[in-house]
Chain A
Amino acid sequence: MGLFAYLKNKFSGKKENPKAVETTEKYQKGLAKSRAAFWDRLEDLSKRYAMVDASYFDELEQILIEADVGVEWTMDLLQKLMEKAKEEGLTDPKKVNEELVDLMFVDYVESGDSVVNDLSFTPGKTTVLLMEGVNGVGKTTTIAKLAHRYQQQGKRVLLAAADTFRAGAVEQLKIWADRLHCPIVTGPSNGDPASVCFDAARYAKEHQIDLLIVDTAGRLQNKKNLMDELSKMQRVLGKEIEGAPQEVFLVIDATTGQNGIVQAKAFQDVFRLTGIVVTKMDGTSKGGIIFAIRSELGVPVRFIGLGEKMDDLQEFDLDEYLHALLLGGEKSDA
């Protein structure tokens, strides 16, 4: 059974559950641009060709690269696709497109373990989540959304403003903490972020906090001293709370190009990332970065930002994602 049949099947049975329908709608809305730039273009392409030839694959290449799925991965994928088409004598453009999407799906699934994207909690112990990323990807906003999400689930959440560097960063998180009625630990501006972590860990232990989310200053991955600083923060947290930070998320802006993978690799080299959060997905047509990261790193995308509202940060769900990317805009599931 092909991917399309699988998705259609899965989503046609889903209509009963209002919560699930809402999720599906969020994905469809947030990925509308990506869908137009990816699947709609593939469809148009298949209509222009009676049968596939070399120039068809050239056009496929353009579509994939323009979706920021990565040059190497695109080349790799097309190679496989051409071989398969040759082997099975596929010449129908529509079939070839579906084969391509199948290959993408298989590659995604095989590139890493399947994980539970939601955070896990141990009763009586603080789960520490360290948020990292380069400048301007939306770390602070994502933290607010995550805090909101887990508060909704009845968790006691604490924020730590360890971005002591950027002007206004602490204030920004404070405002969020205020709005969310969430406790926050801060330090002096330009102070040592590790000492903020220390204070926050202490506070968390004393106040039975379920989830401590640590905001860090944006840093470009090629600045060694700043990367060292992050390692120190991790050590301090681990000393105070055994096994902390249990989760280390890298936040990546969906509008980032090939450097997204470079970033993920650099952070992964230093910090054992446990997940990726892709932000600003609704603003770009380039959802392809999700595939590139997975294929290159095997680090799972855990959350995905589909809009600006608090609950627009969604747990990443591959089926929802593919459904929205491939079938999302269809009038009906038929």
Chain B
Amino acid sequence: MAFESLSEKFTGIFKKMRRQTTLTETNMEEAIREIRIALLEADVNYKVVKAFTQDVKEKALGQEVLKKVDPSQQLIKICYDELVALLGADDTAISFNKNGPTIFLMVGLQGTGKTTTAGKLALWLKNKGHKVLLGALDVYRPAAIDQLTTIASQIGVDCFSLGTNVNPVDAAVMAVEKAKAEGYQDLILDTAGRLQIDESLMQELTDIQTKVQPQETLLLVDAMAGQDAVNVANAFHAKLRLTGVVLSKMDGDAKGGAALSVKYLTGIPIKFVGVGEKMTDLDAFHPDRMANRILGMGDVVTLVEKAQAVMDEKTAEKEAKKMMEGEFTLEDMLKQMKSVQKIGSLGAIAKLIPGMPKLTEEQQESAEKRMKDFETIVNSMTPYERRHPDTLKFSHKSRIAKGSGKTNADVNRVIRQWEKSKEMMKQMKQYQKSGKMPPRGGF
């Protein structure tokens, strides 16, 4: 299948190599060829692919094949190092303005997600405790301003607009004045989408930039963009000295290879990644993690970080300790499940865990339904029962089943799940003591 994800593709290649004991020129050639096609199909720019595969080949061929090292591991390492180099240094911090509002100028082609991302960014800043103002400068696309004001009211952020009968440059200046006068910490300016070849509209952006002197000029790049993305980025960069790229629509099944090429060829850092349709679906970009993801090694780091943001760290520690000691109640289990839900959909989480098979949409739905049932049943128990599910008698179970509108079998399933999890916790503890990791696939 030509369009499996890059991760899967690499996993396939490495699996093939895993059975081989030595890394020969011949088997390398095949893997390299596969890598090359995989990258091209991921929309990585042709020139970048060429440079990348050349580098990997040279590094791998030049190296002695290490004895006792799995050859595929060796190639993973080389690919990983090269991909990280390709993605560039991890320099994605926002340059906040200490003496006034930090101004963000969002630019890009039509339909790349500027308005939605402006909203997401506003919410992200608001959640940092900032007072944020959105500025609607798209006077061309019908109802673009409506879209931004609707989003603004959804996320509880103020929005400034002067309607469509106004020069966007003037509107930008007014927005800045308002932000300064009313003590906003951030101002996000949403501009109209435009083609990089449209001279007059590009000039308009230059004018806005000169007038408002934004700290951040962010180019939206669609994860689905093809080979042309590099030319687009080059053109915008030449006119506007971009400070960053936001990679949008990464929740789709496009691989986003084009954005990687943008980073490689222009050096503009990717600062954010749009990962869904909800206003909270904006992530920081981490090149090392992206490289991990491409290599099919998952992104455990992101998962842990997200989990941390959701769960209070101290209770997490207490809970972890309790769980490790085997005092794991149904209440704990429910709490855990709920915090997992807060992180994101099951499918999204599964993607981040290495070795976890991809969930189909149906599997996801049924798993989410089972989680819901689990919650209903646990909520129908008394606090004592939740803490001591092993003491439940038939009559208790019948009552719980009735109370939750489920069957006795459903209640039994909940208890069995709890027993299994408890057992797993114990095993984890043993692994932790012995210093070994549990076998993969045990998730």
Contact = CB atoms under 8 A, between A and B. Distances in A.
A255 B229 contact: yes
Interface in A253-284: 253, 255-263, 265, 280, 282-284
B46 A174 contact: no
A166 B131 CA distance: 25
Nearest to A58: B50
Given A136-B112, A220-B252, A169 B143 contact: yes
B189 interface: no
Given A136-B111, A255-B232, A68 B226 contact: yes
B249 A33 contact: no
A134 interface: yes
A65 B46 contact: yes
A286 B253 contact: no
Contacts of A43: none
Interface stretch (B23-31, B34-42, B69-77, B285-293): B34-42
Given A72-B2, A172-B142, A283-B109, A66 B227 contact: yes
B312 interface: no
A71 B226 contact: no
Contact of A285 (B144, B222, B231): B231
A134 B252 contact: yes
A67 interface: yes
Contacts of A67: 227
Contacts of A220: 249, 251-253
A97 B368 CA distance: 55
A145 B141 CA distance: 14
A289 B195 contact: no
A255 B142 contact: no
Given A167-B151, A172-B143, A138 B113 contact: no
B228 interface: yes
B150 interface: yes
A246 B195 CA distance: 34
B258 interface: yes
Interface residues of B, number: 50
A328 to B, nearest CB: 16
Given A172-B141, A175-B142, A280 B110 contact: yes
Interface string A71-84: 11001000000000
A222 interface: yes
Interface string B104-123: 00000111110100000000
B255 to A, nearest CB: 8
Contacts of A72: 2, 41
B382 interface: no
B111 A137 contact: yes
A114 interface: no
A168 B144 contact: yes
Contact of B228 (A134, A176, A261, A286): A286
A257 B147 contact: no
Contact of A167 (B113, B150, B258, B365): B150
Given A259-B43, A261-B3, A283-B195, 14 more contacts: A68-B227, A72-B2, A167-B147, A167-B154, A168-B115, A171-B146, A171-B147, A172-B144, A224-B365, A253-B222, A255-B109, A257-B43, A265-B3, A286-B226
Interface of A: 33, 62, 65-68, 71-72, 75, 134-138, 166-172, 174-176, 220-222, 224-225, 253, 255-263, 265, 280, 282-286, 289
State the 8 A-B residue pairs at the shortest beta-carbon distance, nearest first.
Answer: A168-B147, A257-B226, A136-B111, A257-B43, A171-B143, A172-B143, A224-B361, A167-B150
